[in-house]
Structure formats: structure tokens, C-alpha cells
Amino acid sequence: MGAAASAGAYGLLADPLALAKDRPIGPQGRRRGSDRSDGGGGPALVGEGSFNQGVASGQPSERGITLWTRLDEVRGNARLELEVAKDADFAKVVHREQVIARKRRDFTLHARVSGKPLKPGQQYFYRFDTGEDSSPVGRFRTALPPDSNEPVRIGFFSCQDYESGFYTAHAGLADEADLDLVVCLGDYIYERSFDDNKRREDKTGANGDGEVMLLAEYRDKYNLYQSDPDLIRMRQSHPFIQIFDDHEVEDNWARDMPGEASSDVRIPFLARRRNGFRAFYEHLPRIRNAADRNRIFGRMRLGANADIFLLDTRSFRDDQPCGDMPGAPCPPEERNDPNRTLLGPDQKQWLLRGLERSRATWKVIGTQIMIMALDAPAGNPLNPDQWDGYGAERRELLEFVGSRGIQDVTFVTGDIHTFFAGNVTPDGREQRVGGEAAVATEFVGGSITSKGIADSLPAGVDLAAIVGDDVVVEQNNPHIKFSNQSRKGYGVLEARPDELLVSYRVPQTVMQQQSSISTLQSFRVERGSPDVQLV
């Protein structure tokens, strides 16, 4: 990763709480590291194994990238060769090194390539080799330099319950052109079944029931999800960064407290959380923070037009108010208690400082949970697990943005399995007359497969009786300019010098293995105006 002076570096590596820093390439074109050989001529490669989960790249900086694979069908530590080239035929190789897939890491491998071989804003290709077989070829683009005014394109998604459908949305995301980055906003896996009407069978198997608690069980879950061909192709096509939400560990967990969603608790929650974190880092192209191994919040700069702040809204929060019961009445003094925190003091101050100091055109905040209020009926927050349950801290953050004159802040959000878009005020609400002024915008990106309210209701139950159809949602929540509770898919954000463009892209169905992709709705935000326009 880049040092603090590098504007393209991912913040986890670049700020004072930095994790492993980028290191220069050694004289033989190799680097020492936890997954690397010692250079030199190199011992013999493993000569066996297969790449059933393909390859992935992540955490791009101006001159750095993390490259990932997992080797199947081997029994012990395995030595591989990694090549990075300017062309897909590997006629112009810029970097070659030997790396090791280790048994104690479930044969996953993370190699950080950085320094002279890579140039800012350039496309590269990479592959791993066993000596007998090569992995599929992956592609990535390094981060744009800070003086580049090129538009920045970012794909974002969340919530991909394997049982609930096919990854047709990932097929569309893989085919999106010129994405600088894809961001997963949480719920990459689901720790147990939440779908009584399974659209495809969950074959997770270490414990036989699909709910995972032990490390081997979490590993099985990742290995299952990442066997999907559409997800494999998406991860090969674009650089990729992930933040976890709750289901990577346990539904609605908060700091060191379980979510109370498990019917068969077999180990203490902190042991379960440790297992979930370890499997998360093993199976995704993300290097752990050297100072804080479970830290996921951080910052990335992509050229002059986008500064990306990724949050952790699980690890530092106080417990949800009012027993975490969706739709239950919750007194304002409890959900707006100023002594309750969602981000924790260190992360909050890091975010406030970063927003104030950012010189990027657009400040993009990736958060797992919705910051706009969602009321049903008007004035009654529906979900205390999101920012509605932490109203005082939401107000503090957004009043800071407004009072310091920080413009062009937008949130991209996962979790709620619904497409929303709208304007963000300090109390999360916008009244039609006399309300607080908006200071930011928000785009909530639906889900890849996971069921929302609309497709979870029993036959004969009226959606409007629960939360309201899309028209009623917008009537109860004037700040929400767009609502769609029925479709699945992802978002694409394009940060330009004078405007922010966002499109919601959806497959026709997740019930079949192939589906066409179309645009559900497009939006525009003018620079200097925190107002979402439908286009």
C-alpha cells in the first residue's frame, strides 16, 4: 500500500493507524512477505492443484494492488508463480514472483504487488501458475493519480444470500465497462438460512445445518459462495474492496454482543466473531491492518474526483435501541440518546477529519446501513438497526458537514435489500415545508439476491400494511426521491468534475441462471447541490 503521501493509497494503509505498507520491489523482482518466497532462482512449483475460485484483486493504490487466489486439491503448503503483465497474452510481463498458498490459511494467498512495475491509472493482467496449470487471467486498474480529472466509475453491491437466487446481477457487474473499483457494502455471505423458500440449495457442509460458527464452517461457506461462476467472473474483472456488515458473523451483532438470532449456540459469541473475521480476511483480496487486525474502516483516493470513505458500523456500536424490534415504537429519547454511538469515538473523529481535509470533488461514504430515515408511518422509524437508532450521532456528523461547508458528500449503502435514493438532512428527514436543509445525498443499492420485505411476505399479506408500497414510502418519507422494493441488482456511480451520475442496474430475474440486465433508474446530482434528480 502507498505511504501517507500517496493520494491514491487506501486509507487503512496510509493514515497514522496504518496497516502493512507497500514495500519496494527487491533487486530480483521479488519481495519478502507473509505469503512470499525469499526470492532468488526459486524452488520448484507445486505442480498440482486447481483454481476453482478463480482470482481476485483488491485495495488498489496508484502503484499497488493486492492479488488473491485459492488453490484447491492440495494437501500442504504450495508454491506458485505470480505474473503481472500489461497485456492479456503476457507478452509484456512487468512483475514475476513466487508465492505460497498455506494450509493454515485454507490455501488462500494474498500477494501485494507495488512499486516501479505499476503505473497510476493503468490496466494490468495477472495470473497464478502451479507449474502444470495456470489460473484464469484477472484484470485490474491501478488508482488514478490525484491530479487526474478523469471520471471515476465505481460499482457497489451488498446482500448476496446464496440460497435466495442466482448471481445474475454479478454477471452484469462483470460486464460493466471501465469500472475503477467494485465495493461490497456488506453481507457477502449469510451465516445461516433466512429463506424458507430456497431458490437454490445451500450445500454448506461442515456442520450439516448450514449455520456456521466454527472456523471450518465459515471457510466452507466462503468456498461455497465463491464457487459461483458469475461471482468468479466479476472478481476477475475489476479491483474489489469489501466491508463486512452483520451476516459475515451473526445477524444484528453489535460490538461484543451477539444478535440473538441463533437457535443453537455452540460456542461463545466472541469466538464466533473471531472465526468470522478470520475467514473474511482469508477469502477476500484484503490485507489485514498490521496495527488493528480487524479494522476495515479506511479511505481511498481515486483521482481528483472521488475520495472514498468506508465505514465499520458493527464493531464499535452500542446495542440497538428498543430491543432491535423492527417497527416497534421506540421513544425519541432512547433512539436519539447522545451517549449512544454507532461509529465509536476514534472512527468518528477519523471520518470528520477526513471529510474536512478532503480536496476531492466528491466525498463518497460507503456504509452498511441507511442514513436517511425510513418511517412507517410518518414519524415512526422502522428499523433501529440503522442510523435511525443512533440519531444523535447522525445529527453530529451531518451538522458538522453543514457547518463546515463540506459540499458534495454522498452515501452509498447496503443492508436493506431495497433500492432507495434521496436527500440527507441532520435528522434524516426532510419535511415538505419548514424542514432542515439537506447536506448530502444517499443511494441505497438493493441486494444481489437477498429477499426484502416485498418478496418475503406470506401469500395474501398486503405490502402496504407492513411498510407501504413504493408510493406510500415516498409519501411517508419526503426525503426519499425513489423507492423500489421488488427488484434485485447493484449500483454504478460515476464521479465527474461537475456532476455525480448513479444508475441502478437490475437483472430481469434471479430465479434463473441467466438473465438480461437493464437500467431500473438513473440519477444526477449537480456539483454544489445536495439534491437527487431522477433522469
Structural domain boundaries in the chain = 28-141, 152-534
Cell of 424: 440527507
221-266: pLDDT as tens digits: 999 999 999 999 999 999 999 999 999 999 999 999 999 777 788 9
pLDDT of residue 148: 97
Superfamily of domain 152-534: Alkaline phosphatase D (PhoD) (3.60.21.70)
For the residues 376-398, what does the mean pLDDT come to?
A: 92
How far are the Cα atoms of 7, 232, 396 from residue 403, in angstroms, in the given order?
A: 26, 44, 10
pLDDT of residue 458: 55
> Mean pLDDT over all residues of the chain?
88
For the residues 374-398, what does the mean pLDDT come to?
A: 92
Beta strands in 425-478 (DSSP E): 440-445
pLDDT at 322 over 90: no
Q: What is the CATH number of domain 28-141?
A: 2.60.40.380
- Helical ranges in 411-497 per DSSP H: 463-466, 470-476
pLDDT at 390 over 90: yes
452-493: pLDDT as tens digits: 877 765 555 555 555 567 888 888 899 999 999 999 999 999
**CA 182/CA 156 separation, integer angstroms:** 6
pLDDT of residue 30: 32
For the residues 412-417, what does the mean pLDDT come to?
A: 96
- Return all residues near 89 (Cβ < 8 A) that are at least 6 apart: none
What is the torsional sign of CA 9, 442, 373, 251? Answer: negative
pLDDT at 16 over 50: no
pLDDT of residue 193: 84
Cell of 162: 446464496
Radius of gyration of the chain (CA): 22
**CA 83/CA 86 separation, integer angstroms:** 10
pLDDT at 38 over 60: no
**CA 172/CA 155 separation, integer angstroms:** 11
Give the three-state DSSP class for 113: strand
Cell of 284: 477476500
For residue 128, give the nearest of 60, 46, 192 by alpha carbon: 46
pLDDT of residue 23: 32
Beta strands in 295-406 (DSSP E): 298-302, 306-310, 362-367
187-206: pLDDT as tens digits: 999 998 887 767 776 565 55
**CA 301/CA 322 separation, integer angstroms:** 38
pLDDT of residue 467: 57
pLDDT of residue 492: 98
61-99: pLDDT as tens digits: 999 999 999 999 999 999 999 999 999 999 999 999 999
How far are the Cα atoms of 78, 172, 221, 228 from residue 232, in angstroms, in the given order?
A: 22, 12, 15, 6
pLDDT at 27 over 90: no
